[in-house]
Structures are given as structure tokens and as C-alpha cells.
Amino acid sequence: MLPDADLALAMRSAIFAGTIVVHEDVTEEFLALLQSEVSKLKTTNNSGSKFRGLVAPAAANRLHGLTKDALDQSARIVAGELSVDHNLMQPIVLDYLAHEMDICKQVVFGPVVLVKKFQSDQEAIEVANDTKYELAACVYGKDVAVRINGTALSPQTFTPLGGTKKSSYGVFNGEYGIREFTWPKVITIVENAQYSSWG
């Protein structure tokens, strides 16, 4: 999140990201927007809910454990609450995170948002790349919104979708997806060939 980004607009998309890297000049303003938005969200198993239950209670318990471990160290709850009931985990936003925390080393895949600060563009790149997983990334600024390895603004079936490092099982969609499931071979067909001439 660059310092000149339209924070309200960017927040609507970023709220569904696992980790948000925000310039320190706008972090407090951005956190206030997150607090307001997260206060409206509730995880339920009702149809039509923006946040539904996780795949199993074990998934919710895993996230609860990772979140509690971070809070037992230096992390702070910015918005939401640490609450798990069966497979339902309520949305929560954390900051004051450290690289050493287990939650910062894993893909969350749940209603937990991690907010990290940066000062320079180089630091933002380093923070974003400081992980074994790279499924997708976005950059928001005044004159730019870039999505990297994510779904397109207007999804197309030929657009490659997939992560790098330890994220995903390859690339999907279009010819890129076909290549993931094939081995290239060379087949030569010569009609009326004299085999001795192939040597």
C-alpha cells in the first residue's frame, strides 16, 4: 500500500488478503478504515454470508493457535476478536508482527489479516518476499493498481493463475495449464521415407 493510494478503495480489495504491507505514513489511517469495515463482518454458516466457516474445526483451531501464539508475543489486535466456535473463526486483524512468528511464516487461508509497515519501496519488496509462499500480490498507489500472479480484474480463461515457491501445484488456465500436465516431445513424420536416409 503506497502512501498516495486511495486507502478506502484499496482496503475493499486488500481486506481479503492474508498480509497487507502498508507505508508507515498512512498505516494509522488505513488501520482505522480496516477497523470500521471489520466491525461490520461476521462469520456464519448462513447462505449469503461474506465469511463462511472453514473446511473443518481443525482448520479453525489451527488459525486460533497461530493467532494466539502471535498475541502471546508482541502482536496486537487492531480489529475483530479472537473467537472460534466449531469451524467458525471471526475476522481479526493483527499488527506489531515479527518475522519469527509462526503466523508470518505460513499461508493463513482464513479470516486473519496481518498488517506490516514499511518505510521505503525496497523494504516493502523485502517484506513481501520474506516468505516461502508466493501465491499472489498487489500494489496500490495513486496512479497504479497492479496484480501479480493473481486473477485479472476481468478474469479470462487464458490468463495464467498459480503461485511460485511453495504455493500451489503449478499454473492453471489456457496453454499454461496444459503445459503443467504434459511432457514436450518431438515427433517427426516423413511420408514415403527411405529409412536409410535418416542416419
pLDDT digits (tens, 9 = 90+) for 7-48: 888 888 777 778 889 999 999 999 999 999 888 888 888 888
Nearest in space to 112 (alpha carbons), one of 151, 155, 71, 80: 80
pLDDT for 128:
82
The domain 7-131: what is its CATH number?
3.40.309.10
Q: What is the mean pLDDT of residues 182-199?
A: 71
pLDDT for 71:
96
Q: What is the pLDDT of residues 51-89, one digit of tens each?
A: 888 899 999 999 999 999 999 999 999 999 999 999 999
pLDDT for 169:
61
Count helices and strands in the chain by DSSP H and E runs: 5, 10
**Taking 50 as the threshold, does the pLDDT of residue 152 lie above it?**
no
pLDDT for 87:
92
Other Cβ atoms less than 10 A from the Cβ of 10: the count is 22
Q: Grid coordinates standing for 36?
A: 470500521
Q: Where are the domains of the chain?
A: 7-131, 150-199
Q: How far is CA 77 from CA 26, 27, 81, 102, in A?
A: 18, 14, 7, 16
Task: Judge contact between 173 and 158, C-beta under 8 A.
Answer: yes
